[in-house]
Chain A
Amino acid sequence: MSRPVNHKSWLLVLPALFMVLLSAGLPLMAVVNYSVQDVFAGDQFFWAGTQWFEQILRDPDFQSALLRSLVFAALILIIEVPLGIFIALRMPPRGRLANFYIVLMCVPLLTPWVVVGLVWKLFINAESGLLGAGLNWFGITYNLDNPLVAWATIIVMDVWHWTSLVVLLCYAGLMAIPNAYYQAARIDGASAWSVFRHIQLPNLRRVLLIAILLRFMDSFMIYAEPFVVTRGGPGTDTTFLSVELVQTALLQFDLGRASAMGLIYFLIMLAVSWSLFTVMMRRDGEA
């Protein structure tokens, strides 16, 4: 069923567009403005051209932080998306038990960033934390100075915090599949795998698109977890892009450079998200 063309409906979109422009457009313009200038003491501006951009792109610290952020975002997607789909597939269809699971799953989602850090600090504390002391009891010392442990901790924290979003979205997507599809599959004697591949997965496309985009954006810009738990260390092993950025923007208060960094991240995110978006929408056309 195709929707009629009506350009007047733009008027209905205007309020939302206005809000987005106010909350994103205006600051973005200011950021572009800063990024080509050298700012002293917050109010003296000097034209800098593309100097910041050239400097940042050549900076080895930036390059390694970018690599770390990309690897981290990729790992997060590789873990959270399949895990989320798997849990959603195994959820009981409707009923009290499903509602009970849903309420509990939402608890991590509703935890403010500072609290997430605190929860995990308490949880992994070597003397008094359930995980830290538990591992101690087995003779393993929980040691954040080990880069692998530091990475694993941040990944587990993010999986704990956000996988439920993927579960919720996928669960909702599965609930929307008409029963007739499954009946047809049963008549054809389809295997569980082909039901998944040809019925469930295609119907999850819309929810997966939004889940993947949201998870990519937030994990690429992850800040609170590494800041609270590892402070970017050991060394610079968990210094992700945003950790570096916050140091430049808020601690050194180097507005021009920070804005240029922000714009570079924005463009990278835009490019990756756009590719994900078009790839997944193209599939939409085929199915």
Chain B
Amino acid sequence: MAVRQASTRRGTRRKSTWSWAPAIYVFLLMLPIYWMVNMSFKPGREILTRATLLPDTFTLSNYMVIFTDPSWYMAYLHASIYVVMNVAISITVALPAAYAFSRYRFIGDKHMFFWFLASRMMPPAVMLVPYVQVFSELQLIDTHIAVALAHCLFTVPIAVWILEGFISSVPRQMDEAARVDGYSLPRFFFKILIPQIAPGIGVTAFFCFMFSWIELLFANALTTITAKPIGPVMGRAGGLVGGINFGLLSAASVLTLIPGILMIYFVRKHIARGLSMGQVK
């Protein structure tokens, strides 16, 4: 398999100059991250006084604070819970829609995707007050599901777009064969379509994860105590008496990156495949 891929791909591009450009690009991207990791291992006093490429005194104390204080580590858990809920909801509603866009023409199909995207065009700050009102009517304030639903604003349009690409890469003959065999639509989805596009679901999950994980404005406004995610907790720690503890904040930030890196590691091979198919004709 690997050999075949390599040979079909070989020669697709001439040997190019500038082939080291991605390496430089990635290196530059990593510099600020490296600096933050560096900071997270420094004791409080060392951080804002001198620039050193490695900590003079290496300490794990910043991380220890986070792992021993529930108000810190629970915040990661809360964020993880609503992100997982959001991913599940987004994929569940996006899958049938993506199938419809991929297979049929119907009234409004051409422009509907644009209108899905248009839902992201309202500045989040204005949406906050109505959101708080809607979710308090529904008695959902300070629950994980409220944040998960609010984040559908960012994730559902993207999920539909990515899944549409994957479903379009499954030949339509497969639908017809299933219909001849007497499969109902739900059974076709679960038995045939979903296994076929499993990598696509992984990629979609990654993108939903990304947009939900990095969003903190809604997550902060819709939660008070029992579902408070990490970002606002960091903000609070930043405003504590006696100045900002940058070491602690750096350690907390480094930990926010880890779930995402794990996630991308699992879908890395499918990313390139996942986004490309669909209506590239």
A23 touches B125 (CB 8 A): no
Alpha-carbon distance A118/B230, docked complex (angstroms): 14
A246 to B50, CA, bound (A): 35
In contact, A245 and B33 (Cβ under 8 angstroms): no
Name the interface residues of B108-145: CB closer than 8 Å to any CB of A: 112, 114, 116-131, 133-134
Q: Is A46 an interface residue, CB under 8 A from the partner?
A: no
Interface centre among B96, B102, B272, B278 (most CB of A within 10 A): B272
Q: Is A187 an interface residue (CB 8 A)?
A: no
The residue on B at minimum CB distance from A99 is B268
- Report Cα–Cα, A144/B163, bound state, in Å: 43
The answer to whether A26 and B268 have CB atoms under 8 Å apart is no
In the bound complex, do residue B268 and residue A24 qualify as a contact, i.e. CB atoms below 8 Å apart? no
A58 at the interface (CB under 8 A from B): no
Instruction: Scan residues 1-50 of chain B and give those whose CB is less than 8 A from a CB of chain A.
Output: 5-6, 8-9, 11-14, 16, 18-19, 21-23, 25-26, 28-36, 39, 47-50
Asked whether A270 and B121 contact (CB < 8 A) given A103-B268, A122-B35, the answer is yes
B170 interface residue (CB < 8 Å to A):
no
Residue B94, interface by CB 8 Å: yes
Q: Are B51 and A99 in contact (CB under 8 A)?
A: no
**Interface segment, one of B58-66, B190-198, B258-266:** B258-266
Contacts A16-B160, A128-B50, A176-B276 known; A110 to B271 CB distance under 8 Å? no
* A residues in contact with B14, CB < 8 Å: 192
Of the residues A90, A108, A119, A174, contact of B21 by C-beta under 8 Å? A90
The listed residue (B28, B96, B107, B117) touching A16 by CB distance below 8 A is: B96
Q: Is the C-beta of B210 less than 8 angstroms from some C-beta in chain A?
A: yes
| Interface range, A side | 35 or more
Q: Give the chain A neighbours of B88 by CB distance below 8 A.
A: none
B119 touches A20 (CB 8 A): yes
Residues from chain A with a CB closer than 8 A to the CB of B72 are: none
Picked from A3, A34, A160, A274, the residue with its CB within 8 Å of the CB of B105 is A3
Given A24-B122, A106-B264, A128-B51, the answer on whether A7 and B22 have CB atoms closer than 8 Å is no
Chain B interface size, under 10 / 10 to 19 / 20 to 34 / 35 or more: 35 or more
Task: State whether A250 touches B128 (Cβ < 8 A).
Answer: yes
Chain A residues closer than 8 Å to B280, beta-carbon distance: 173, 176, 203, 205-206
- A56 on the B face (CB < 8 A): no
A16 x B97 contact (CB < 8 A): yes
Given contacts A5-B105, A7-B107, A266-B122, contact A130 B31 (CB under 8 A): yes
Answer whether A15 and B92 are a contact pair too, CB < 8 Å, given A24-B119, A172-B276.
yes
Cβ of B94: which chain A residues have Cβ within 8 Å of it? Answer: 16
- B246 beta carbon closer than 8 Å to chain A: yes
- B residues whose Cβ falls under 8 Å from a Cβ of A: 5-6, 8-9, 11-14, 16, 18-19, 21-23, 25-26, 28-36, 39, 47-51, 89-90, 92-94, 96-97, 99-107, 112, 114, 116-131, 133-134, 149-153, 156-157, 160-161, 172, 210, 213-217, 230-231, 234-235, 246, 249-250, 253, 256-257, 260-261, 263-265, 268-269, 271-280
Query: Top 6 nearest A-B pairs by Cβ distance?
Result: A262-B126, A110-B260, A24-B119, A176-B276, A30-B130, A172-B275
